[in-house]
């Protein structure tokens, strides 16, 4: 099992390119099931979850052809089954995103019910309620969701909770429904806008994506298209936080704009100088220690929950005391327990954490529990003294492309090890 061995103390400097967004690539790959024609996607990140999704599409009968490392053409001309198997769904919850497309395209879908995960129960009840509102017959039995609908019907559906993949599943299903669908209290994340852009290029009629009310006029069929996946705002934010924590100066290119304003504002509050161009973001800490910043996670355009662990790591070494409230998931503080192993002063009270900044953390072996928690641990290792060994980094590989290479390009001492040198054990 791979681990990351990190020697703390380097001040990050230099430039890196952002990769395509994992959380846009996954729904957009699933959207290719809605058409019998070829869809070519560019700027795909090279991630475990992207490879898993492509495997799932092949299992369903789609042809998946890599054009180059970051581009793929998918043609779902003859689907051979409407079932997404447990073996695949259990490794990636986002497999639930084939439910809407399969139901809309084939009139039937059978998807293993995603279990919970480290950060929470993560039910999919709103996905199912929305499909029922469109006339689907949905049964959950034997650990599977079984959905049937000869033809989905457009409807007005208000989502109880803002749900990103729930909005995506229902938006995809509605593209082939009879009549018009209005999704209200929809999620506004940029990845939803990117999915709508791709669907409209395929002939869908979607307006309002990126706002809390999305209108989808059903069409008979969707055709092929080409689409470039938008940049990964969480990867960009992760590298900017690393630059701030190490008191360095880093430019991230290929960032697009307007994707992470809430995060940039927090970094400025922490004392960073931020300079944005059309397609790049530069953060300069000028050698200063960050100032503690409070964090309150919320759906977009609020502060993203996927950046909470990274900012907890920043607050662990910042000047002052910060409160962090996690308001999206019920159990997303596991990284706090591992950060405490590095000497962090964190007190958890329900969905609140109080973090008292310390000048220095002490390197130690730690264990990743979920994707963004492991990113927070890597950031802490970059500033801790001596060595930090992060275990179970398969969590990282799901959502970060060549993370250690990108950090090394900025001057960090990070290496992927399988056999641990004696002194580091």
CA distance 36 to 4: 42
Binding ligand EPZ by CB under 6 A: which of 15, 17, 63, 125?
A: 125
Q: For residue 288, what is the DSSP state?
A: P
CA distance 159 to 255: 31
Q: Contact at 8 Å (CB) between 316 and 339?
A: yes
- Is residue 301 near ligand EPZ by the rule CB under 6 A? no
Minimum CB–partner distance for residue 145 and ligand EPZ (Å): 12
Minimum CB–partner distance for residue 286 and ligand EPZ (Å): 31
83-84 and 108-112 beta bridge pairing:
parallel
- Is residue 172 near ligand EPZ by the rule CB under 6 A? no
The residue among 124 and 259 lying less far from ligand EPZ, judged by its C-beta, is 124
Instruction: Enumerate residues 6+ apart whose C-beta is below 8 A from 384.
Output: 6, 8, 342, 343, 360, 361, 362, 363, 364
- Is residue 305 near ligand EPZ by the rule CB under 6 A? yes
Catalytic pick among 117, 198, 276, 316? 117
Minimum CB–partner distance for residue 223 and ligand EPZ (Å): 26
Q: Is 30 among the residues known to form the active site?
A: no
CA distance 63 to 41: 13
**Binding segment (CB under 6 A) for ligand EPZ, from list 63-71, 73-81, 122-130, 355-363:** 122-130
- Is residue 122 near ligand EPZ by the rule CB under 6 A? yes
Which of 44, 21, 47, 406 lies closest to 250 in space, CA to CA?
Answer: 406
Binding ligand EPZ by CB under 6 A: which of 4, 16, 26, 204?
A: 26
- Is residue 415 near ligand EPZ by the rule CB under 6 A? no
CA distance 159 to 184: 6
Q: How many CB atoms lie within 10 A of CB 40?
A: 17
CA distance 232 to 278: 15
**Binding segment (CB under 6 A) for ligand EPZ, from list 56-64, 69-77, 100-108, 124-132:** 124-132
Q: Which of residues 327-386 bind ligand EPZ (CB under 6 A)?
A: 328-329, 371-372
Question: Which residues form the catalytic set?
Answer: 117
Interface ranges with ligand EPZ (CB under 6 A): 22-23, 26, 94, 120, 122-127, 161, 163-166, 187, 305-306, 328-329, 371-372, 399
């Amino acid at each position: 099992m791979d681990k990351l061995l990190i020697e703390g103390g380097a001040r990050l400097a230099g430039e890196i390119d952002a990769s395509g967004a994992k959380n846009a690539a996954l729904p957009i790959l699933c959207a290719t099931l809605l058409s019998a024609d070829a869809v070519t996607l560019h700027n795909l990140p090279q991630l475990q979850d992207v490879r898993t999704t492509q495997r799932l599409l092949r299992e369903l009968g789609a042809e998946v052809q890599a054009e180059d490392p970051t581009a793929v053409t998918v043609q779902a001309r003859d689907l051979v089954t409407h079932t997404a198997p447990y073996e695949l769904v259990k490794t990636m919850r986002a497999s639930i995103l084939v439910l809407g497309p399969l139901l809309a395209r084939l009139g039937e879908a059978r998807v293993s019910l995603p279990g919970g995960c480290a950060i929470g129960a993560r039910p999919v009840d709103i996905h199912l309620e929305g499909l029922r509102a469109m006339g689907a017959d949905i049964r959950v039995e034997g650990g599977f969701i079984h959905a049937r609908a000869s033809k989905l019907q457009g409807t007005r559906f208000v989502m109880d909770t803002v749900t990103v993949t729930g909005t995506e599943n229902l938006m995809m299903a509605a593209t082939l429904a009879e009549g018009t669908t209005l999704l209200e209290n929809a999620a506004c994340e940029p990845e939803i806008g990117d999915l709508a852009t791709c669907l409209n290029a395929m002939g869908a009629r979607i307006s309002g994506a990126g706002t809390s009310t999305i209108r989808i006029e059903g069409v008979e069929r969707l055709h092929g298209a080409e689409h470039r996946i938008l940049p990964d705002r969480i990867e960009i934010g992760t590298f900017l936080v690393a630059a701030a924590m190490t008191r360095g100066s880093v430019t991230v290119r290929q960032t697009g704009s307007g994707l992470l304003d809430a995060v940039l504002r927090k970094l400025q509050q922490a004392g960073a100088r931020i300079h944005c161009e059309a397609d790049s973001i530069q953060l300069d800490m000028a050698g200063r220690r960050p100032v503690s910043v409070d964090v309150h996670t919320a759906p977009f355009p609020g502060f993203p929950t996927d950046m909470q662990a990274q900012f907890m790591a920043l607050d662990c070494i910042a000047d002052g005391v910060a409160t962090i409230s996690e308001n999206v998931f019920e159990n997303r503080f596991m990284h706090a327990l591992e950060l405490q192993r590095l000497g962090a002063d964190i007190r958890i009270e329900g969905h609140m954490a109080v973090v008292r900044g310390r000048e220095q953390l002490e390197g130690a072996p730690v264990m990743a529990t979920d994707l963004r928690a492991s990113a927070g641990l890597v950031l802490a290792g970059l500033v801790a003294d001596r060595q930090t060994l992060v275990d179970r980094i398969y969590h990282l590989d799901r959502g970060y492309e060549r993370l250690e290479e990108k950090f090394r390009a900025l001057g960090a001492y990070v290496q992927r090890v399988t056999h641990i040198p004696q002194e580091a054990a």
